[in-house]
Amino acid sequence: MQPLLKQMKMRLLIAAMVLVLSTNLEINAQSESINWMTIEEVTVAQTQEPRKVMMDVYTKWCGPCKMMMANTFTNPDLIKYVNENYYSVKLDAEHPDPITYRGKSYSNPTYVPNKKGRNGVHELSRALGVNAYPTIVYFDEEFTIITPISGYKQPRQLQVLLTFFNEVYSNEIPSEKMQPMWDKYNEEFVGTW
């Protein structure tokens, strides 16, 4: 009887350990995500610790947008790099509420509540130069637009853009010099994600 009791205790202990470990792994997996912020939160954060900004402009009906959220923005290396070097914003291009960016208020006057599928385009999306989804708009540390770049991006494709804008780009370099710098950087870049 003693060996049977000892064996049952051991199995119970192992089951408890497996439960604790799997719960821990699930919590860690959930906490490893991009720290998405609102435009208002970024505006405040920029005054305390200036960083470049990456804004993912998407729509709810956009298939490639959903793919980027599922396949690209879940890459652990990308998440770590973005959270350490950028402020990140998700902007629904058909969002109905007003948004203030750099002291100007933008709205979506053509938004129709309860409409299924495509809806009115938010004025801020247009002001940022977005004309396709997904588009990632890059901003400098003063929250001034660097450039919008549209299309689905895999982690490696996004890595070259994120590192270039964070490590090479400077608004003090004239744009005619920036393009050759980008071409060289992109050609020589070796991704690790």
- Helix segments in 75-142, DSSP class H: 76-85, 123-127
Q: What is the pLDDT of residue 5?
A: 61
Q: What is the pLDDT of residue 30?
A: 43
Is residue 23 in some structural domain?
no
Is residue 49 in some structural domain?
yes
Q: Distance between CA 56 and CA 83 in Å, rounded?
A: 14
pLDDT beneath 50, residues of the chain: 20, 22-30
Is residue 44 in some structural domain?
yes
What's the CATH number where 39 sits?
A: 3.40.30.10
Provide the sign of the torsion angle of the four alpha carbons 164, 165, 170, 171, taken in this order. positive
Is residue 123 in some structural domain?
yes
Q: What is the pLDDT of residue 114?
A: 85
Is residue 187 in some structural domain?
no
Q: What is the pLDDT of residue 7?
A: 66
The total of structural domains in the chain comes to 1
Is residue 7 in some structural domain?
no
Q: What is the pLDDT of residue 28?
A: 45
Is residue 136 in some structural domain?
yes
Contact criterion met (CB below 8 Å) for 92 and 59: yes
Contact criterion met (CB below 8 Å) for 173 and 181: yes
Burial 28-43 (b: 16+ CB within 10 A, else e): eeeeeebeebebeebb
Q: What is the pLDDT of residue 48?
A: 97
Q: Distance between CA 58 and CA 72 in Å, rounded?
A: 14
* Structural domain for 45, as ranges: 33-152
Q: What is the pLDDT of residue 24?
A: 46
Q: What is the pLDDT of residue 35?
A: 98
pTM summary value: 0.82
Place of tokens 């948004």: 99
Please count the CA atoms within 13 angstroms of the CA of 137 that sit on its side-chain side: 23
Is residue 170 in some structural domain?
no
